[in-house]
Chain A
């Protein structure tokens, strides 16, 4: 049984709306073509089961990042996401969130054919949840 649907809803609820400078521009996997910056994207690095107890225990790693026109703007949203998730409790329907923590951080700069730069800042977030 996958946790992905309720976890996707929890991530959108936690990060969307007015919680970060990206507003409601929060997308699973990839943003729509030509969507204006800034925005947030999350994707699944891994979804595993920890078969250590009689409970269903999910160990999920999400890569959550901000794309923006400047490094400063991307960093600011990344910091907002950190503040919303690191050691916070997510409301995941049907599951109990035991742990949410930031792990590896990443930064990347893209330059298109016209020389325009886009900046990415983000991190892996480990989420443990059980039933």
Chain B
């Protein structure tokens, strides 16, 4: 590694550490590198902007963000909630299972954990804490934990970004997330089953038959969306980017049909989508140039040689990476880890013969657990903010959920076939 590259890394770390937005810190330290080495300043734009402009895959990001914003602004979540409550409400701790199942269904329509928490998550907490039926800290922590399923079951914004920077097929990644996502739902349900008996959680009241019919009919159109998306991607009929457009269009049609959309909410939805897109994409622009320098300086190969010198088995490598990402995830933002760590580790992944699809799913599950790990757990902040459940109470409750999700993570590390058999069956 050259001195100039070391200077760039130090400048990036220093700027990042004092709170400069990560995307700006990457662009600025990249410029500083070019100034010091006397190379063409235009390389930042040539790498970063051109990467954004010419990547058909990255266009899926704004479309999935838009779809999620439309769903959050509509009554889709309410309809799903009522329907699932109808089916599983009658068991002990019914609403807790509803929370998990709605997260799974919503995960099949949106690609963001934060959207899941802000949409159905908020409604779930309101329902669970009404008349103090469930402890509020449990309700908040469960909502955070189940929201992590959002980007595991397709569609998924982190998978789009991982695919774009690693050159892995998005279709394969999407299909690979199905079983791990369901597995996360299963382990959370087992935990709920145990806690519900111990703490004697309430059971929901019965529905009358006409009520059940109305609720089912109302939930039917939103329930079609995951089926359309999965079918389209599995059969290869649409690309993930086109699936994103279809998801957004379908969500808008439903929102207009249900009279959830006024011109004013439409404006707000578009503005929020543009804002969310700019936040993600400017970081990607910075990272595209940053990683161009990092790769040019042979840093990933140095890391690969260093890892090879330890002669780790693929399994040991995955376990060490998972432990590393759990620690980093407690402190750093998902996007930062995805954009900085993945390019550095990829050559090692290839050298060890690990399937990049398997690796991608493992680290994305890892990073989602990071979203609920204190001290820097964005999902905890978001849920505390929208539900007014004190952060401290939720943090005490979240550790058992983290433990449970780590079990699911270990299972998908130990059994790659859990991840890979669906994409293989689809011919990837």
A and B form one complex: no
Residues of B within 8 A of A (CB): none
